[in-house]
Structure 1
């Protein structure tokens, strides 16, 4: 629980978090500069800030309020955002997108392997099962982790904010899917560090959207509503049931979702359908043709957007492969048929979320739609039918609401008094526990437990004279420990010799307000302890690697600035020559002189 304007919480762990945050606010005196809110999305990102008494969604250098989460590498420069996306069709092998779907995951995971098959760029296995993208940049081959790619997008959002605010920005509240596990959250924090940002707080995307809804609807302090946030974006699907008490208190009752379900999956199904259609018509297989698949994906995404307001769209590409054109009409009904499995999965998750929150459909006062994919008519229709014809809340911008809420939280943590108080009571999305005899998962903190939290379980030795005990920390809902996500392991030693079952080890699990875990094992008889702060998943980035990436990011930034400086100088020279030519013409100079210009 976080409450800046209330009495100190009594819980020791929570009080420690409270003291740390209040100390930051008290000592800053505004000297640390403004804190921004960033929605780091799968397909698009958005940044907002509290300025002049209100939240401002910041436009980028192209004048857009969202920026593609896309990074491209060419022979002469690196591009981030709109510039990267605009050249994806001609440079698919070196244009990286969807990093959020791979960040914090292992290369060997089934979902990662399935994604790789559909990506036009190369993903390889890095050290310790970490996925890395391989690109050609300035004639050389480079490998980048997902943290580095995400840091480039965050760096872009930082620059966009600094250009608007007019000063350096260091602090940010960054949003993550509610169903992100500990590894994915940590990887996001590492990406922010590489980008030169201090993460004041990680906040779940549906919670941020609920904050935006409360602010936009100016809920009074006596008002109390149960709201369901449906967040269906480009790559992730999140559900959160919250109780909003006035404008300042947000209590999450339950979360559910899928970090691998979103608009990208709908696009991919359309691409598969088009590939099959093209093969039937031309007997040519597009599989493995990166350029053709990249162009087809862009066209399918465009058609999907059209189908949100029209009943039919065309997918047309000249010279798709070997001089053969591709043309196909796709109806909204066909699009819905292709993706009905995903839509049905969303409704099943919704039923589970309400059950975990101990609520019925009738208990929900508002259904808030967030994320671009909630514009799909079939999604809206299925939600409305589930809630027996209830009107859905569409009065907040689905693309901007998450960044808006993050900026509200950033302003609150910076001491801005836009509301009397802001209290967020979030939950942990997945159960946390350890492996016990028989490879069984022993849950210490159940899913949907309010955070911050601290829980302890005691375990007995399994052998005579056992001198040490290994603690393997897992996150997930499966009975067999190995079927869950291994966050890390460590060994506590120094257990005094004793018969089996006589000695005890106490495991304490603590989750902070960012949803990040600390595990401590203590030998009860001696008080000897061993701790694991899951700040670095086994096999992921070390402190030294992160520091190297920070330096590399700065190098890229300087290279980008130098390229921009040269480009501007070249343009200035061209303008000067053009002006000189016009002046010569106006003075009726000799044709021979004009010819030599």
Structure 2
């Protein structure tokens, strides 16, 4: 893609963890965060002074779960009354309410005030973190990104994810399906077979979603034959099974119901996630939580067999998706050459056993890192789109992705017609005859449920309707004059809830203000704490100094009114402390609260 400026990255925007990579030195580099980890929790926490993202936010979950947001991928692009959103709300410690357009919004306490955030904003904050990780590694600004989504994401969810990228300050080059990205990663790393066609089943079981795709790779062409998935099947659901099991055990043993205690639930969830990971390596896991609820120390042992029984329904649903994608691809089991595991939950032994058994004992391919494969493929796609001359070992790669959902319309008579069938190759055009009177027609994705919007048509026998799908899976609608071939693009009036360009601009500016304000806002908070430490705890000249914190509140107020007199005020504070001049903390205080003179301007 000529003309693209700035560095480009590939980002796996995951439900539980996210990952970022860059093409450098003729290869993909997956970038570690500041803790040295190559994946970063998709967690956002809101505190009195700042927004935390990633590892620090996940740590904050133990302290303040109501203001720690995660799993936003399960609500982005959905309606508030969507069954998946409603099913997950009961597991989320943070508050989710509905907008006037029936869209979910997250409610948190931030800097002492109740704030609401759109799902796109939360995803944007995760993307900002991934961008910062890449910029720290590259030493230059990152402007462009390929962002991955579950293959079964519909038009609304893909657009919402792209909007999140825009809010994060990224030029979104492509919205790429996760199993497609993983398939690209596998095919790139196994290029020895590029002159023979091989059918690869990509089984992507992550923290919140599952995608199963069959990818055909040969002669440099990576073609998705079929895909299937579920938005409500992943590691988080396995965690929920364990949490429910331990809640029932606690009640059975002690006769106490801890479901209304958020502190107990968050500690139990953390222990359950740890136990799940242990059971992928060992036959049993032991949990011990001191003073879990009402003074009770809770201990328990769970075996791998019990865990597998608890999650049996989810495992069965996963295998049903494998059957479906095999049927849609019109391949037999024997025609699948490789089975590639992707996603953290693909580590679970039972999942691997079921997959192998389904394919009559076939060995599973574990040659790629399941936690990094999606970001790896997204990085390859970013390199292909942004290099003026593609790297030598990428020149032969051509990607042919598919749409997981059908598209069609309902005419004025109420008759629905499918125009684009699911698993149709992207960058395609489907033609329909215009045989209705003047008026509006409604466009549907998966005809039975998801309305995209409406278009206005004029009756004429000379025009046909064209549905165009671009490489992101987004729909454009045209009329085509059958006599002249002239095309006219029709405006789609989208259903309420989609962000407008003005909404995106406002949300971008709001997040920028919050994040810019973070550093300045922390200084008075830290100074408040430091002054309290100096005046309430230290003994100077053998006497305990007891200046109330109310004094500092007045100090802050006075800063707002007369910041030019700050030096005079610091001397006033110093006089309140019976300390020798050379030991007075005013210099330290000045250093702490005024590293930049602008912080006073940012106090709410």
- Matching residue of 1:500: none
- Matching residue of 1:490: 455
The CA distance in 2 between the partners of 1:566 and 1:391, in whole Å, is: 60
Distance 1:190 1:567, change over 3 A: same
- Matching residue of 1:434: 409
Deviation at 1:279, TM superposition (A): 2.0
Matched, 1:509 2:467: yes
Residues 57-456 of structure 1: pairs in structure 2 closer than 5 A: 57-246=30-219, 248-415=220-387, 416-417=390-391, 418-436=393-411, 439-456=414-431
- Matching residue of 1:4: none
Distance 1:287 1:571, change over 3 A: closer
Secondary structure in 2 matching 1:226: strand
- Matching residue of 2:548: none
Q: Deviation per CA, 1:378-419: give whole Å up to 9, x if none.
A: 000000000111000001100001101111111111124142
Q: Deviation per CA, 1:331-356: give whole Å up to 9, x if none.
A: 11111111111111111111110111
Q: Is the CA contact 2:412–2:439 (under 8 Å) kept in the aligned structure 1?
A: no
- Matching residue of 2:593: none
- Matching residue of 1:546: 504
Secondary structure in 2 matching 1:398: coil
Distance 1:294 1:47, change over 3 A: same
The CA distance in 2 between the partners of 1:282 and 1:490, in whole Å, is: 61
| Structure 1 residue ranges without an equivalent (≥5) | 1-20, 497-502, 574-591
Distance 1:505 1:271, change over 3 A: farther
Runs of 4+ in 1 over 6 A off after TM superposition: 522-528, 564-573, 592-597
Q: Is the CA contact 1:174–1:199 (under 8 Å) kept in the aligned structure 2?
A: yes
Deviation at 1:532, TM superposition (A): 3.6
Secondary structure in 1 matching 2:464: strand
Q: Deviation per CA, 1:174-217: give whole Å up to 9, x if none.
A: 11111111111000000000000011111111111111112222
Q: Deviation per CA, 1:151-196: give whole Å up to 9, x if none.
A: 0000000000000000000001111111111111000000000000
Secondary structure in 1 matching 2:311: helix
* TM-score of the pair, normalised by structure 1: 0.84
Q: Is the CA contact 1:210–1:229 (under 8 Å) kept in the aligned structure 2?
A: yes
Deviation at 1:469, TM superposition (A): 2.4
Q: Deviation per CA, 1:514-568: give whole Å up to 9, x if none.
A: 111112357989989662458x653221211110110012112212344678899
- Matching residue of 1:584: none
Deviation at 1:311, TM superposition (A): 0.9
| Structure 2 residue ranges without an equivalent (≥5) | 532-579, 586-604
The CA distance in 1 between the partners of 2:413 and 2:293, in whole Å, is: 55
- Matching residue of 2:445: 475
The CA distance in 2 between the partners of 1:539 and 1:594, in whole Å, is: 62
Deviation at 1:227, TM superposition (A): 0.4
Deviation at 1:508, TM superposition (A): 1.6
Find the structure with the greater CA-based Rg.
2
Secondary structure in 2 matching 1:538: coil
RMSD: 2.7
Q: Is the CA contact 1:491–1:530 (under 8 Å) kept in the aligned structure 2?
A: no
Q: Is the CA contact 1:505–1:522 (under 8 Å) kept in the aligned structure 2?
A: yes
Distance 1:460 1:523, change over 3 A: farther
Secondary structure in 2 matching 1:486: strand
Secondary structure in 2 matching 1:118: coil
Q: Is the CA contact 2:454–2:492 (under 8 Å) kept in the aligned structure 1?
A: no
Secondary structure in 2 matching 1:519: strand
* TM-score of the pair, normalised by structure 2: 0.83
